[in-house]
């Protein structure tokens, strides 16, 4: 518990400290990050990006050797912790595979439209350094015209059924 509170406090300080951001492209796959053990921030952070009107999802996973866990922040505001790894891991160098395996810590957060600045602190790291990945994916925005056409079609279908019945 103490480690988690220390990591959250350090994350607030890191989130507020001015530094050069790594600008990420939305829907561009996984971005590798590295860190130097418990209490350290991710190399390259903050990671900045913007979502359009539909917002999007930030996903983070441990990779390579299992056991690392992260506290995530957006502009200094805590998003939460990645999951606690379950059981003994092994070695995975595929981010999608690690994200789907409970032996590797992972998490996803729904973020709204606008600019985001993501920082993170390694909370647990049995090997005292490591790497992981983060991915940002935009959520589709439904077209207003499509919903209107659907409603109009349903209304016409209802009128047609009423005339036949």
Q: pTM for this one?
A: 0.75
What mean pLDDT comes out for the span 23-52? 94
Q: By percentage, how much of the chain surpasses pLDDT 70?
A: 84
What mean pLDDT comes out for the span 50-58? 95
What does the angle CA 114 – CA 119 – CA 125 come to, to the nearest 5 degrees?
Answer: 145
pLDDT digits (tens, 9 = 90+) for 95-129: 999 999 999 999 999 999 999 999 999 999 998 89
The confidence score (pLDDT) of residue 140 equals 79
Q: Which two tokens stand for residue 97?
A: 């595979």
For the chain, the domains span: 2-164
d(Cα 32, Cα 22) in Å, to the nearest integer? 12
Going by pLDDT thresholds of 50, 70 and 90, the confidence category of residue 6 is very low
Sheet of strand 130-138: strand arrangement: 31-35, 130-138, 56-62, 106-111
2-164 topology per CATH: Jelly Rolls (2.60.120)
Q: Which two tokens stand for residue 19?
A: 């530094």
């Amino acid at each position: 518990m103490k480690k988690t509170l220390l990591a959250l406090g350090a994350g607030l300080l890191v989130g507020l400290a001015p530094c050069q951001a790594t600008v990420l492209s939305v829907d561009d796959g996984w971005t590798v990050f590295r860190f130097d053990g418990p209490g350290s921030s991710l190399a390259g952070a903050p990671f900045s990006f913007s979502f359009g009107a539909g917002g999007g999802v930030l996903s983070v996973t441990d990779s390579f050797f299992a056991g690392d866990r992260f506290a995530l922040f957006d502009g200094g505001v805590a998003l939460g912790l990645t999951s606690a790894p379950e059981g003994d891991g092994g070695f995975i160098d595929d981010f999608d595979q690690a994200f789907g395996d409970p032996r590797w810590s992972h998490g996803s957060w729904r973020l709204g439209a606008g600019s985001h600045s993501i920082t993170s602190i390694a909370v647990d790291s049995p090997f005292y350094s490591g790497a992981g990945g983060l991915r940002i994916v935009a959520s589709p925005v439904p077209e207003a015209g499509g919903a209107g056409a659907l409603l109009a079609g349903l209304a016409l279908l209802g009128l047609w059924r009423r005339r036949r019945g």
